[in-house]
Structure 1
Amino acid sequence: MEETPTELKIVILTGLSGSGKSTGLRVFEDLGFFCVDGLPVGLVPKLINLFDEKGGQRYKGLALGMDVRQADLDTDWGVTLAQIKVKNVAPQIIFFEADTQEIIRRYATTRRPHPLESANRGLEQAVLEERERMTPLREAADMVLDTTHFSIHDLRRKLQEKWASIRTTRGTLKVHVMSFGFKYGPPSEADMVFDLRFLPNPYFVRELREQTGKDAPVRDYVLAADPGREFLSRLQEFLLYLLPLYAQEGRYRLTVAFGCTGGRHRSVAVAEAVFDTLSKAGYNISLEHRHIERG
């Protein structure tokens, strides 16, 4: 994340119960953030004032965990967020989610009750109701993290990678650029998906197979000559034309995904190039290589 010496960094971790928010808070604690879980939404502006005065020099930032356990989350979230922004603070919101059946499996393993379970509402109904109630927060998030197939270690690594890739520029559309492998399935959260399997495949070049799209030899193999060179030029022109139109229509966040067969070479090279272009254009942007290690 790009920093200025006086900027107060605030991260809000929220999402579905059982999707990894508590693990995420521990990651930020390890990164030197002061972490608070379960704070009533209405008290957040007061905590920010207190932290800015007392803890701004001791910690790298403030990380807050919020979920449906806070009774005022649904009703007070919009007002509280507006109060925070009035203070010239731009919080980063990370939303954790997972497939309903995976959340049910996790609760069955831990044998803990879901916050919305009751005598008249079973676990699956509780998860579905929570997903519906949390929709406004998901739509406002800077980053949506699907942990369905993550172990605790995967989640820690991915969260560190994602946080490190955030670029903050106030007042613009938030864009999440992603690479993935079609053999593992396209990302459900993507708003636009580009199939890059028409580009030359470094996998079939022995000396390039073990490298990734982050490495210069692979990047040059994919993009230095046509069709990759011409495609990238037209793609960048297209995105720079299209994104302002989304912003004018009030779109808050957009996820653009690039896929190849294994998610290791072509998609990574293109995602890196697009990330660099949009960063220089001043967009709020984050980058994720979802399958680079599996590919």
Structure 2
Amino acid sequence: MRFVIVTGMSGAGKTTAMKTLEDAGYFCVDNLPIQLIKRFAEIAYDEQIQVDNVAISVDIRSGRALSQLNACLNDMKENGYQYEILFMECSDEKLVKRFKETRRNHPLSAKNGRIIDGIKKERELIGFIKDEADYIIDTTNLLVREFKSELDKIFVQNMEYGNFIITIMSFGFKYGIPRDSDIVQDVRFLPNPYYDEELRPLTGNDKVIQDYVMNCKEGPEFLDKFIDLVQFLIPNYIKEGKNQLVISIGCTGGKHRSVTIANEVYNRLQKSTYTVRIYHRDIGKDAVVKKL
């Protein structure tokens, strides 16, 4: 049996996580009082009850009792009740945006107070839980379907999870550098298919463009060195407490060279235990601009 404790920042996706786990067959209890967690574990682990998997949510709504969570979890360990902690994380900027869009107040914001103040206070109060988490999912840049896919990998397929999400993003410099980039790599030194009228309408998702870009000495050599750099950086980013990395790869228009290299980087990093996503931000903008 799996006993999952879902927690994290308000607005980071705990409700979606609980609904997803419930759909996956977990017996779910939202906002279970801290004082009842151990008793609930005793019932869940009772062989006569025959519960396969359980998920409970615990968050800032527990109020002052939240400070008792560590003692509760230690007590569970001593009594042989195994559990896993899933912590939902999200950037302050994105959380503020979500609260404004839903017109909700943050649980810790005073009436008519600033949302960001409530978020900062919450981070201070639940930081100790994040330190103990088995899984940390940062939903800042995740689509709902991607988030659900991550949950499925961990709690349904039982796949190994590296607590680190890597986003590979292609972009065009003429449309601006992505603001959330951690690493920005310029690949405008590679051969440009744009100047071939037959190749111009195609993108880096087409094999003929990929061959054009990579069939030069610099392409494969650059790719090897760049992957080596990224693989060196990842564990050091993790050591510093990061749980996501955005690698932005740019060319002039974000349609040919950057898409090709982004795809190559994505394919190589997929072999790691980390979650790897790919996003071609500007791949279709050239056609849209021309129509205008």
By the TM > 0.5 criterion, same fold?
yes
| One of 92, 99, 106 as aligned partner of 2:101 | 106
Output the CA distance in 2 between the equivalents of 1:49 and 1:294.
53
Tell me which residue corresponds to 1:197.
Answer: 187
The answer to whether the Cα contact below 8 Å between 1:196 and 1:267 also exists between their aligned partners in 2 is no
The answer to whether the Cα contact below 8 Å between 1:38 and 1:67 also exists between their aligned partners in 2 is yes
Larger radius of gyration: 2
TM-score normalized by the length of structure 1: 0.63
> Residue 270 of structure 1: CA displacement?
0.8
TM-score normalized by the length of structure 2: 0.63
Q: What are the Cα deviations for residues 179-205 of structure 1, in whole angstroms up to 9, with x where unaligned? A: 2345586464x7x52425347589854
What RMSD over aligned residues (CA atoms) do the two structures have, in Å?
A: 4.4
Is 1:71–2:71 an aligned residue pair? no
Output the CA distance in 2 between the equivalents of 1:186 and 1:55.
50
Output the CA distance in 2 between the equivalents of 1:40 and 1:186.
42
Q: 1:236 to 1:118 in 2, by over 3 A?
A: closer
Q: 1:133 to 1:240 in 2, by over 3 A?
A: same
> Residue 131 of structure 1: CA displacement?
4.3
Tell me which residue corresponds to 1:93.
Answer: 87
The answer to whether the Cα contact below 8 Å between 1:45 and 1:84 also exists between their aligned partners in 2 is yes
Alignment of 1:125-204 (within 5 A): 125-137=117-129, 140=133, 142-146=136-140, 154-155=143-144, 157-164=145-152, 169=160, 174-182=163-171, 186=178, 188=180, 192-195=182-185, 197-198=187-188, 200=190
Q: 1:238 to 1:114 in 2, by over 3 A?
A: closer
Is 1:274–2:264 an aligned residue pair? no
Is 1:229–2:220 an aligned residue pair? yes
The answer to whether the Cα contact below 8 Å between 1:41 and 1:72 also exists between their aligned partners in 2 is no
Q: What are the Cα deviations for residues 205-254 of structure 1, in whole angstroms up to 9, with x where unaligned? A: 46852848xxx87777766864343334334444555556677xx65654
Tell me which residue corresponds to 2:286.
Answer: none
Is 1:14–2:8 an aligned residue pair? yes
Output the CA distance in 2 between the equivalents of 1:84 and 1:286.
31
Long gaps (5+) in structure 1:
1-6, 280-284
Identity of aligned residues (%): 18
Aligned residues: 260
Long gaps (5+) in structure 2:
284-292
Q: 1:175 to 1:118 in 2, by over 3 A?
A: closer
Q: 1:137 to 1:219 in 2, by over 3 A?
A: farther
Q: 1:94 to 1:129 in 2, by over 3 A?
A: closer
| One of 24, 32, 43 as aligned partner of 2:17 | 24
